[in-house]
Amino acid sequence: VRRRFDREVVMMAIVLLDQFMTSRPYTCRRNFRLAAMASLHLASKLYGGRTVRISFLAELSRGEFLIQHIAEMEQLLLFTLKWRVNPPTPLSFLQHFLALLPCSTPHALKEELFQYSRFFVELSSCDYAFVTEKCSYVAIASIINTFDATSSFLDFNFDSKLLAEFLKTIFTVAKLTKEQSHKMDNLKDRLWTLFMESEEYHSGASSHLSVFALRRSCMITQDYPCRKDGGNSPVCVSGRTLNRL
């Protein structure tokens, strides 16, 4: 059985599941799978244009769970989260930050920037390390990576002064200090690492991003001292400040 779930629904389901598991860290694997299904069902009702039928989810479990099991777990999830099921997410911050782009920015450019930035935001959901990071920081790191990568191939000219002013604005809104900028560099690096490990990179589906990521990786390798054993791996990728903005 195949069904395409809205990307925002899937991300929200992951957020709800993460919050639930934080409150119940000793949940067994079976209940974890059940909680994942309940989170997906709840997210589809809250954020999807069409609710995923609970019977469909029960069918996906191949007999492991009944409709009643999923419904009861969904109720437990709501009680555990105290009905706080609309938390801030990297995607919501991304949408608010991009709304701060200058009014003169072409709509087509805004849409391109949003799609690429959302791709990086979605990559962050594949790495548990991002769960403990501020959602606003993940969104900003995704935006900066997008500007770094797309400036060479998008068919739009974005004034450098306007770009600097835009980034300054979102840094101010997010209350990002100079000391915290090191963390931002680490988040940017980690997102690029996730991309280079993704199916999109290896399949060439995002060819422009792949070319930029490869060039960026080569630059990092060249700028770092090689290991004593003669290897070419950099000593510490996350320790270097790249494209500081």
- Same structural domain, 156 and 127: yes
Show the domain range for 47.
7-80
Q: Is 85 domain-assigned?
A: no
- Same structural domain, 57 and 142: no
The CATH number covering residue 173 comes to 1.10.472.10
Greatest Cα pair distance, the chain, in angstroms, is: 60
- CA–chain centroid gap for 187, Å, is 11
Q: Is 245 domain-assigned?
A: no
State how far the alpha carbon of 226 is from the alpha carbons of 174, 213, 214, 215, 219, in Å: 37, 20, 18, 18, 13
Provide the mean pLDDT of the chain.
78
- Same structural domain, 144 and 41: no
Boundary residue ending a domain (58, 80, 102): 80
Q: What is the pLDDT of residue 242?
A: 31
Domain count, the chain: 2
> What are the pLDDT digits (tens) for 117-171?
998 998 888 887 888 888 899 999 999 988 888 776 665 666 677 778 888 888 8
> What are the pLDDT digits (tens) for 68-98?
999 999 999 999 999 998 888 888 999 999 9
**What percent of the chain is predicted at pLDDT more than 70?**
78
Q: Within 7-134, where are the H helices?
A: 7-23, 29-47, 54-60, 67-80, 90-98, 107-124
Indicate if the pLDDT at residue 67 is higher than 80: yes
Q: Is 150 domain-assigned?
A: yes
Q: Is 149 domain-assigned?
A: yes
Contact status, residue 89 vs residue 133, Cβ threshold 8 Å: no
- Same structural domain, 107 and 145: yes
Q: What is the pLDDT of residue 96?
A: 93
- Same structural domain, 161 and 192: yes
Indicate if the pLDDT at residue 48 is higher than 90: no
